[in-house]
Amino acid sequence: MNKVKLGLIFGTRPETIKMFPIISEIKKYPELIDYKIILTGQHREMLDQMLNTFEIIPDYDLNIMKENQDLSQILSKSISSIEKILMKEMPDMVLVQGDTTTTFAGAMAAFFQHIKIAHIEAGLRTNNKYYPFPEEINRHLTSVLADIHFAPTDKSCLNLLAEGISRENIFISGNTVIDALFSVAKKRYLFKNEILKDKKLFNHKVILVTMHRRENWGEPLRNICQALIRILKENPSAFIIFPMHKNPKIREEVLRILNGNKRIILLDTLDYEDMVNLMSKSYIILTDSGGIQEEAPSLAKPILVLRNETERPEALAQGTVDLVGTNCGHITKKVNELMNDKNKYLEMIKSNNPYGDGKASSRIIKKILNYFKLLNTVPDEFKA
């Protein structure tokens, strides 16, 4: 074999962020790697935003997203459409990332065609099949199908070993989201969003809030919004910035409860560069996002996770992340502690990031080249 042909399958905003460093790394080996980018379009508007930011041009765009379609429709459309492309292109290996429906669909379509599968960000687990939903099961099923498991951490590796996956098929790489973060975080960044250009805003203690997970729709979201109102009442100098997810089930509820509060700034979804640099200027981050749990420790920001469980326990063990759930009183109490107790705040902003060092993509591509005997050396695994 003189060259390996790879198929990169993704379709959501988070996947695009984490695949961008992989694409950049692949481009360093034009004599060894051919590749095709296959998009499902599972997140349409937010996906396009990321493609423009990173200047990614797909070879195939399935554009599967239709209004009000359910998970089974997304899955069935994705599998059948991806399989047709794989039958035409026949890559030596497909790369899928994380835990979306696109991830599982891409792995299943490749399996049907006897194509090797590499799973990036493998081994994250809560071991509660409905939390997060449907991501936990997407991860488990993708692990059953994968040939190479790129685990971001030692803990992820142990999870895979406990499920009977051979150590020789697991490679601890770190997480590519840290690679992406380092590429866009800037000390003297000029925001594109007009509201964020107001430098006086960051003279206050800014609390950044993001939410998108299905299990937080409805009552949990309402509880969190009430907590935000209480936090502002008890912290007169604080401001909240809340970039709202595109999903109408989230936006309608957030707008109904929070719109009109002069110290809550409700924004549309930010592009990645604005979001990373907003994180770097925030005082505390409240989120149910897995990616932000991984990114924020590199920015020395405390994370309060608006969930009852997390598949990313490493930062929790380190103390840079705290699970606060969705109870109004509990969230308020935890935020108040960080706002008013400098020692507790400093305890949470340790600089070591257990999820990566900015070199995950390099390790992954070198490992794949070694797998296909196009590179003699095996890269060292990531150690936190």
Q: 217 and 116, same structural domain? A: no
Q: Are residues 147 and 13 in the same domain?
A: yes
Instruction: For 37-61, write each residue's pLDDT tens digit.
Output: 999 987 777 788 889 889 999 999 9
| 206 and 171 part of one domain | no
Residues 203 and 378 sit within 8 Å (Cβ to Cβ) = no
Q: What is the domain-level CATH number for residue 17? A: 3.40.50.2000
Query: In terms of domains, do 203 and 112 share one?
Result: no
320 in the same domain as 302: yes
Residues 337 and 199 in one domain: yes
Residue 300 inside a domain? The answer is: yes
Task: Report if residue 122 sits inside a domain.
Answer: yes
Q: What are 280's two structure tokens? A: 């770097």
Helix (H, G, I), strand (E, B) or coil at 301: coil
pLDDT at residue number 360? 98
How many whole angstroms separate alpha carbon 29 and alpha carbon 79?
Answer: 29
CA distances 300 to 134, 288, 305, Å, are 30, 18, 15
- Residue 351 confidence (pLDDT): 65
User: How far is residue 107's CA from residue 97's CA, in Å, rounded to a whole number?
Assistant: 10
Report the candidate in 24, 22, 37 with the shortest Cα–Cα distance to residue 89. Answer: 37
Asked, for residue 112, whether it belongs to a domain, the answer is: yes
The domain in which residue 283 lies consists of 195-347
Determine the average pLDDT of the residues in 277-301.
90
Q: What amino acid positions are annotated as catalytic residues?
A: 99, 121, 135, 212, 214, 245
- What value does the mean pLDDT take over residues 66-75? 82
Within-domain flag for 306: yes
Quick one: 220 and 335 in the same domain? yes
Domain assignment present for residue 360? The answer is: yes
Same domain, 26 and 82: yes
Residues 53 and 100 placed together within one structural domain of the fold: yes
pTM for this entry: 0.83
> Mean pLDDT throughout 317-323?
89
> What are the CA-CA distances from residue 198 to residues 118, 178, 192, 203, 269 (Å)?
44, 28, 11, 10, 18
Residue 244 domain flag:
yes
Number of domains the chain contains: 2
| Residue 180 domain flag | no
Query: What proportion of the chain, given as a percentage, has pLDDT over 70?
Result: 99
Is-contact 314 321, C-beta < 8 A? no
Beta-bridge partners for 303: 285, 321
Give the chain's length: 384
Could you please report the per-residue DSSP string of 9-30? EE-SHHHHHHHHHHHHHHTT-T
**What is the arithmetic mean of pLDDT over 123-134?**
92
**In this predicted model, what pLDDT tens digit does every residue of 6-28 receive, in sequence order?**
999 999 988 999 999 999 999 99
pLDDT (0 to 100) of residue 208: 97
Whether 206 and 170 share a structural domain: no
Looking at the structure, tell me whether residues 148 and 202 fall in a common domain.
no
How much is the mean pLDDT over the chain?
A: 92
Q: Are residues 145 and 165 in the same domain?
A: yes
Q: Alpha-carbon torsion 259, 260, 264, 268, what sign?
A: positive
Report the range of poorest mean pLDDT among 77-91, 113-127, 146-160, 182-196: 182-196
383 lies in a domain?
no
